[in-house]
Amino acid sequence: MFENLSNNLAKAIKTLKGQGKITEINVAATVKEIRRALIQADVNYKVAKQITDDIKTNALGKDVLAAVSPGQLFTKVVSDELTKLMGSEKASINLNGKPAIILMAGLQGSGKTTFSAKLANYLKRQNKSVLLVACDIYRPAAAEQLHVLGQQIDVEVFSKVDHKDAIQIAQEGIEYAKNTHKQVVIIDTAGRQTVDVGMMQEIKKLQDTVKPAETLFVVDAMVGQDAVTTAQGFYEQLHFDGIVLTKLDGDTRGGAALSIRAVVSKPIKFIGTGEKLTDLDLFYPDRMAQRILG
Ligand code: GDP
């Protein structure tokens, strides 16, 4: 994952390894290389500039202990800053409510339906009873897809064939969940090719009506900066609590993972790492930073 970025960062830091101490001059050169590596990885320019300025300030502010080489010290500074960039707090999912309602939002093809099933499976493994609700009224195949996935993980799916009101389906789904004592309801919604007015109005109305404990925005990591721009576009119109970054297994660069938190100010809560329904991980910024730095 993010092999080029890892290699380029390692190369940049390596130049400091032979040096006796950290100075303005050698740090400036290294930081420049780091910025270049981040931009090549499709990290948002402003984010790359901010983090490299912070790395420089912090590295210069540190006294090098006899036991720590400039290279080691610098690696630690970079690791801390990358972690901070991706969000230092541990992301958690809010399951308040009886049932707790989780609303999924995102563009078509982002991996929303797959993630809805992955999350249902993840919660089921924590002994929660879950209902999946198919609210994509435009693509009958989406409800079918959810039924197929639900069967694979043995989670019930609520849908209404030929019904054209997403709000009503959601409400009936929640009613059904209450009657069947489900603890969590995951609502899969319609996606679009782009952020359009109709979709935003529908999802906002859904959010106002069902008042979810958690609204998650699903975005495909493989589209890099476009993922960040889409998340930003959504957030200007729809409040969401966290981001799900899917297809990280296919993302060779890392730009979305590194910049989305800083641009949108919302944490990445989960990552999708494959097409299987178990390919879901909680997102740990510190582990990701360590992975990037090798
Ligand atoms: P939706 O339109 O947003 O509901 O998207 P889907 O859930 O139908 O996913 C679109 C495609 O992306 C499907 O072929 C999924 O198998 C695939 N997909 C979803 N998540 C991941 C992931 O984390 N990794 C990979 N490699 N593929 C994924």
Nearest atom (ligand 1) to Cα of 271: 23
Give residues with Cβ within 8 angstroms of 272, minimum separation 6: 111, 114, 115, 118, 244, 245, 246, 247, 248, 249, 279, 280
Ligand 1 centroid to Cα of residue 227, in Å, is: 15
- What confidence score (pLDDT) does residue 39 get? 96
Task: Check whether 190 is labelled as a binding-site residue.
Answer: yes
Dist CA 156 CA 151 (whole Å): 7
Q: Which residues of the chain are modeled with pLDDT < 70? A: 63-67
- Euclidean distance between CA atoms 22 and 56, whole angstroms: 10
Query: Can you give the pLDDT at residue 89?
Result: 75
**Could you identify the residue written with the tokens 């390596």?**
14
Tell whether 113 is in a known binding site: yes
Q: What is the pLDDT of residue 81?
A: 95
pLDDT tens digits, residue range 57-98? 998 877 665 557 788 888 999 999 999 999 977 778 999 999
Residue 114 CA: nearest ligand 1 atom is 7
Give the pTM.
Answer: 0.94
Out of 1, 114, 187, mutate this one to test ligand 1's pocket (max ligand atoms within 8 Å of CB): namely 114
**So what's the ipTM on this one?**
0.99
Q: What share of the chain is helix, strand, coil (3-state, %, to 5)?
A: 55, 15, 30
Token pair listed for 50: 């901010």
Quote the pLDDT of residue 178.
98
Which tokens hold the place of 61? 């502010």
Residues with CB under 6 Å of ligand 1 are 106, 108-114, 191, 246-247, 249-250, 272-275, 279
- How much distance in Å is there from the Cα of 114 to the middle of ligand 1? 6
Beta-strand (E) ranges in the chain? 100-106, 130-134, 156-158, 184-188, 214-220, 242-246, 268-272, 280-282
Which DSSP state fits 180?
Answer: T
pLDDT at residue 135, as a whole number:
94
